[in-house]
Structure 1
């Protein structure tokens, strides 16, 4: 009978430790933590304990939150700051203590929330991973949620990649504009040049490059929803004579002879084993002296596994894989691209995610109406967790600039970088 009478608040107090800055209230009437804590966690049903005990690492917490069995009052990022590290660091002794207090009934297998993707094993053979068909399905599952939902989260720029803040206090929109302009300057864009933007999203880079640098641009994306929104926007801006957005796999681009290629946030989706072929393909699309700017999330070092796991793999980016910056640099050089510059924008992505979190909070009711409560909870958790991961240097963001040299080794670039900050 001891197991059944153990207050849930006591259990979470053990999980969080004595210095936790969150309070806990539970369905059994128990509580723990300081009453004046800035963040309160509500354990609404025994299902939260089932998920926590039966799921590894962060997956249990994610399932409980997405299902609504565990809720947060206050800033979700602050709650994660207190929760995630403690749960990830549970020792065998801690788990044995939880088992004694909660009882074996909480070890039962519980059906995950509807928003969860199957495990990698259930999704199919490794050999099929990152085939065109499977990549298309993975992209659609994440990006084809609702264009209106993305407008609420991302803001007017519709830029779903790391912004670059020119100074402290810059707005998210200013930082996204600055990011696109920085990429244009690193690529050395000039009027009349031909630009290819792979993984173009809602077309922000294409529109900026055409409007401000006078180039002709082609953008491609695997998301049908993105392509339709982006092409409509290109037409509304009066740029259709110089810009086009296609619903197309980058591997199916037939044009060649580009002066520049931008890849902003695509590499995370192609798979580590495909990185060499990816850079070879893009290098072949460039003219001599043509530049490639690859902007993507990276692992902090090569000891970290390529494949995403847990919550991110099951709810956010199925089949997503990250590489360390050195692996990307090596692959670019092996593909015939000479790397001329690399920049880590890790802190900028944390700031970007903070902006997206604020947008989602501000428009929460409309987001739930548009995409559903479960999907909105997935996004709230994902954005806050990624912000924390960038701050802790669990992941990074690198822009790497390469050039296709001519036969004599000429690279057509100034002796020193000329794109400023």
Structure 2
């Protein structure tokens, strides 16, 4: 392949006007038509092109990045924002055909090239118990120490709620838990079910600040072990139980509140009706459900995760429009009392996690391996761009189980 062709191959995908420079291992350089560049894509080896040849989309580019054969010089968030609206589907069929022809020899030479070891393929029936457990283990059972460095002391792997532009991540995560507690109207003596509890922070917040007896359930063994130790360390063992298992195995009923924070994305459209019906059955009359999850803006946006996200981050994730989720909650018997979109808060949360990763990069690599660290280095700013551009959203929906006379027990004007 001639020298100028390597860098030039990427220009049709990025777009002639995208403010990104491409430099390649053969010394070739492709600069944006406008001249100004916010970042440089560094194609370090022929292997990067081989990954692109085998998967001419975000998955191929991600494989090249995760394996270290492609890198970005400059701020990833800025670079991804610059090219966020450009996809392989925008490239003309003629250009795609030309690219395929020019990449064919490389694809042939690397026909046995395996994806990076961080890539995960699911097995079994979609959303079967065994497959769900496998998906959760892939993402969460990486290293608790790795998550401590990225998430910070709050150990909350869900969208924070920033009380101000200058609030710290820890202040925002506390504010998120306080907001959920306010919406659920938690009081001493109540019982709360925390499904998909992660490292148990909502359960511990409810017990420590509101005197609530909480049961947290997670499919991740590593999360459960960490949370159980933290419960004991904080002296909350009389109020908090963290259980390793499937939420569908919870036999207890008559809870005053259910918190579902970051679990619905893993449930899937086909299971959603049963999911909300199950949570409804766990509540006493007058009990409340707070559902906090990532959604897509409307029915026209992609339902299933981007191939990179699906293979490397959240296997089997499925995002649904907020209207669909509200309808399914309502159909399960809940009266919907409040809903809000926190997508800007999730962008800020992701960028705070990105800053933590960068600050602890060497230790993160030593703990989880460079490939896993590079997955996070790419996916967090990519998701932040998605929230900022309204390609994805984060909604909290509050529902209540009415009594036989249709009474909700809500005050006329809730404080939240």
Displacement of 1:84 after TM fit?
4.5
Quote the residue 1:394 is aligned against: 391
1:111 corresponding residue in structure 2? 114
Which residue number in structure 1 is paired with residue 51 of structure 2? 51
In structure 1, C-alpha distance between the alignment counterparts of 2:37 and 2:303, rounded to whole Å: 38
Higher mean alpha-carbon deviation, 281-290 vs 14-23, is at: 14-23
Give the whole-Å Cα distance in 1 for the aligned partners of 2:188 and 2:103.
69
- Equivalent-residue separation in structure 2 for 1:158 and 1:117 (angstroms): 24
Q: Who is 1:157 aligned against?
A: 154
State the number of aligned residues.
410
State the Cα distance separating 1:36 from its structure 2 match.
8.0
Gaps spanning 5+ residues in structure 1: where?
none
Deviations 1:2-56 (A, max 9, x none): x444442333344434443333321101223379844222111011112223214
State the match for 2:137 in structure 1: 140
Supply the distance in 2 between the matched residues of 1:315 and 1:106 (Cα, whole angstroms).
24
Match of 1:93 in 2: 94
Name stretches of at least 5 consecutive residues in structure 2 with no aligned partner: none
Counterparts of 1:380 and 1:149 in 2: how far apart (Å)?
13
Q: Does 1:318 align with 2:315?
A: yes
**What residue number does 2:349 align with?**
352
Instruction: Check if 1:252 corresponds to 2:253.
Output: no
Q: What is residue 380 of structure 1 aligned with on the other side?
A: 377
Q: Which residue of 1 aligns with 2:415?
A: 418
State whether residues 58 and 84 of structure 1, in contact with CA within 8 Å, keep that contact through their aligned partners in structure 2. Answer: no
The 5-angstrom pairing of residues 20-59 of structure 1 reads 20-33=18-31, 37-59=37-59
Structural mapping, 1:186-225, within 5 Å: 186-225=183-222
Partner of 1:82: 82
SS in 1 for 2:86: helix
CA distance in structure 2 between the partners assigned to 1:334 and 1:325 by the alignment: 14
Selected match of 1:366 from 360, 363, 366: 363
Whether contact under 8 Å (1:76, 1:384) holds in the other structure is yes
Match runs of 1:257-296 below 5 Å: 257-296=254-293
- Partner Cα distance (2:200, 2:73) in 1: 36
CA distance in 2, matches of 1:323, 1:339: 17
Check the 8 A contact 2:195/2:217 in 1, yes or no: yes
2:61 paired with 1:73: no
Against the structure 1 CA distance between its residues 82 and 96, is the aligned structure 2 distance closer, same or farther, given a 3 Å change threshold? farther
CA offsets, 1:239-287, max 9 Å, x none? 1111111102110111111111100001111121111111111111111
Give 1:371 deviation, angstroms. 0.6
Which of 173, 176, 181 matches 1:176?
173
8 Å contact from structure 1 (residues 200, 219) kept in 2: yes
User: Aligned Cα RMSD in Å?
Assistant: 1.8
- When residues 382 and 414 of structure 1 are mapped into structure 2, their CA distance, relative to the original with a 3 A threshold, is same
The answer as to whether partners of 2:52 and 2:64 remain within 8 angstroms in 1 is yes
**Cα distance, 1:91 vs structure 2:** 2.1
CA distance in 2, matches of 1:18, 1:57: 18
Counterpart of 1:85 in 2: which secondary structure?
coil
Q: Tell me: CA distance 1:84–1:306, structure 2 relative to 1, closer, same or farther (3 Å).
A: closer
Q: Distance in 1 between matches of 2:352 and 2:163?
A: 15
1:406 deviates by 0.3
When normalised by structure 1's length, the TM-score is 0.93
